[in-house]
């Protein structure tokens, strides 16, 4: 799977109120490994950044004077992103700006060029409800080193996002691995094994183990003041069995 981790910096917060993109950072990952085939683009927005935005990214109007406008870099960017699974933190924000820029050129939305878009903010809120889930907060929580992030920068943030994503989805590369693509260290395909030929032994608990288990359940039932589900189910099953026996 080819994934692109994308981040933008902008002149302000409102794409529908004239704010523009000034920086785009993209980091490529192929089969969960960084490739180094990244993109880092500065864009001349044709306007100044708001004072508060300037405090965040530190990219001045003077620095951007000789940079190309978005229209001049759009084709290369779209070719790079085409068909990829794009990952963005707080995707509606970046998509709002990218789609606004594309609309100015008469182009369709970015979603039509890429395979999918994943929002890591949505993922993080599902995993950590009620907690701060900014990129910095996730770096701290997942032990991703962001010590070099004194100001926001699109490429640096995209690199951090890639690390955060790997930590958020740790283990999925094993869980989702396709058996048909299994290979050894040399890249040679491994033969598939028919597991149906094996007969797995069933180890039943002995009387001592059953007694110990019952003792634990009794203690839990006591601690919960009789609110354990299994006791309720046992009582219900016994009542049904008694009723069936009586009816017979």
- pLDDT single digits (tens) 14-32: 999 999 999 999 999 999 9
Verify that 30 and 133 share a domain, yes or no.
yes
Query: Is the distance from CB of 52 to CB of 187 less than 8 angstroms?
Result: no
* Domain boundary residue, one of 177, 195, 222: 177
DSSP 14: -
Place 60 in a pLDDT band, splitting at 50, 70 and 90: very high
Minimum mean pLDDT range among 19-28, 66-75, 119-128, 171-180: 171-180
Verify that 14 and 125 share a domain, yes or no.
yes
Verify that 238 and 121 share a domain, yes or no.
no
Minimum mean pLDDT range among 69-83, 139-153, 183-197: 183-197
Residue 155 lies in a domain: yes
User: What is the overall mean pLDDT for the chain?
Assistant: 85
Could you give the number of structural domains in the chain?
2
Verify that 164 and 228 share a domain, yes or no.
no
Residue 186 lies in a domain: no
Percentage of the chain with pLDDT > 70? Answer: 80
Verify that 170 and 71 share a domain, yes or no.
yes
Range of the domain at 236: 207-247
Verify that 226 and 133 share a domain, yes or no.
no
Verify that 24 and 72 share a domain, yes or no.
yes
Residue 230 lies in a domain: yes
Residue 182 lies in a domain: no
- Catalytic residue IDs: 152
What is the number of other CB atoms lying within 10 angstroms of the CB of residue 214?
Answer: 10
Query: Is the distance from CB of 160 to CB of 142 less than 8 angstroms?
Result: no
Verify that 106 and 226 share a domain, yes or no.
no
Verify that 173 and 231 share a domain, yes or no.
no
CATH of the domain at 92: 3.30.420.10
Place 175 in a pLDDT band, splitting at 50, 70 and 90: very low
Residue 120 lies in a domain: yes
Per-residue model confidence (pLDDT) at position 29:
95
Alpha-carbon torsion (98, 99, 102, 107), positive or negative? positive
Q: What global pTM score does this model have?
A: 0.68
Place 107 in a pLDDT band, splitting at 50, 70 and 90: very high
What is the distance between the alpha carbons of residues 70 and 47, in angstroms, rounded to a whole number? 13
Residue 199 lies in a domain: no
Pick from 89, 94, 57: which is nearest to 77 by CA? 94
Per-residue burial over 184-206, b = 16 or more CB atoms within 10 Å of its CB, e = otherwise: eeeeeeeeeeeeeeeeeeeeeee
**Could you give the C-alpha distances from 5 to 38, 44, 139, in angstroms and in order?**
9, 22, 15
Does the structure show a pLDDT above 80 at 183? no
Query: Is the distance from CB of 109 to CB of 132 less than 8 angstroms?
Result: no
* Domain boundary residue, one of 162, 177, 192: 177
* Domain boundary residue, one of 132, 162, 177: 177
What is the distance between the alpha carbons of residues 112 and 205, in angstroms, rounded to a whole number? 57
Report angle CA 150, 168, 23 to the nearest 5 degrees. Answer: 40
Does the structure show a pLDDT above 50 at 112? yes
Verify that 117 and 9 share a domain, yes or no.
yes
Verify that 54 and 124 share a domain, yes or no.
yes
- pLDDT single digits (tens) 184-229: 555 555 566 666 666 777 788 888 988 888 888 888 878 777 777 7
**Burial (CB count within 10 angstroms: exposed 0-12, middle 13-18, buried 19+), residue 137:** middle
Verify that 159 and 227 share a domain, yes or no.
no
Place 173 in a pLDDT band, splitting at 50, 70 and 90: very low
Per-residue burial over 42-76, b = 16 or more CB atoms within 10 Å of its CB, e = otherwise: bbbbeeebeeebbeebebeeeebeebeebeebbee
Tokens read off for 133 = 């889930």
């Amino acid at each position: 799977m080819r994934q692109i981790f994308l981040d933008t910096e902008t002149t302000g917060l409102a794409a529908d109120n004239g704010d523009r993109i000034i920086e785009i950072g993209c980091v490529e990952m192929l089969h969960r490994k960084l490739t180094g085939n990244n993109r880092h683009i500065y864009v001349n927005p044709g306007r100044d950044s708001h004072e508060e935005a300037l405090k965040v990214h530190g990219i001045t109007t003077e620095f951007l004077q000789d940079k190309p406008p978005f229209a001049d870099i759009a084709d290369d960017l779209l070719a790079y992103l085409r068909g990829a699974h794009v990952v963005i933190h707080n995707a509606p924000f970046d998509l709002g700006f990218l789609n606004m820029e594309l609309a100015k050129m008469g182009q369709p939305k970015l979603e039509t060029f890429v395979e999918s878009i994943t929002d890591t903010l949505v993922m993080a809120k599902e995993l950590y409800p009620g907690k701060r889930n900014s990129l910095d907060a996730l770096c701290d929580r997942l032990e991703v080193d962001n010590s070099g992030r004194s100001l926001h920068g699109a490429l640096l943030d995209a690199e951090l996002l890639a690390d955060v994503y790997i930590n958020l989805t740790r283990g999925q590369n094993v869980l989702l691995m396709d058996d048909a693509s299994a290979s050894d260290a040399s890249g040679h395909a491994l033969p598939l094994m028919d597991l149906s030929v094996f007969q797995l032994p069933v180890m039943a608990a002995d009387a001592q183990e059953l007694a110990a288990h019952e003792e634990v359940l009794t203690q839990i039932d006591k601690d919960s003041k009789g609110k354990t589900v299994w006791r309720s189910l046992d009582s219900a099953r016994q009542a049904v069995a008694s009723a069936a026996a009586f009816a017979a």
